[in-house]
Amino acid sequence: ASGVAVLLELARVLDRDKLHHEVWLTFFDAEDNGGLDGWEWIVGSTYMAEHLTVRPEFVIVVDMIGDAEQQIYKERNSDAALQDRLWAIAADLGYGDFFIPEYKWAMFDDHTPFAKREIVAVDIIDFDYPYWHTTQDTPDKVSAASLEHVGRVVEVLLEGERNIKRSEDNQ
């Protein structure tokens, strides 16, 4: 639920006066089937992508980003130009140790149905998380700072990159 937490906080903090475009904060259901036979993956995002009545400028998925030992690598099935913008913002904010500008994963995630329709899409995901799909995936493994890193990067992108201010904790 780390992605949900970030989206809920973005809903609270985004400054409408700084937004120059419409922003949809979307919560997808049925992304992960947990390995159950007969259950499809990415059902909610696939449905949305297939039924869009307007074409978004871009889609950013935040998934599994609350790890206290956060290491977010670029993802091979994501749009490279938008990833470069996001990773540059992260570096400007002082989050370069957490947003690593190297490719590591090729994910089949909620961004995939949009990318297949040639919509610019990025998956911000920290897939190096050993507790995924285990009973040890508990709230004590989540870091508020990790949530903030991702939330601030997305916030700065959405509100305009001219508004970059480094976090006091990272100066």
- Cα–Cα distances in angstroms (integers) from residue 68 to residues 33, 62, 95, 146, 153, in the given order: 25, 16, 14, 6, 17
Confidence of residue 169 (pLDDT cuts 50, 70, 90): very low
Query: What confidence score (pLDDT) does residue 55 get?
Result: 94
Confidence of residue 35 (pLDDT cuts 50, 70, 90): low
CATH code at 2-170: 3.40.630.10
What confidence tens digit (pLDDT) does each residue in 13-34 have?
999 998 888 999 999 875 666 6
Tokens of 91: 């570096």
How many residues appear in the chain? 171
pTM exceeds 0.85 for this model = yes
Tokens of 85: 């913008």
The structural domains of the chain, with segments of one domain joined by +, span 2-170
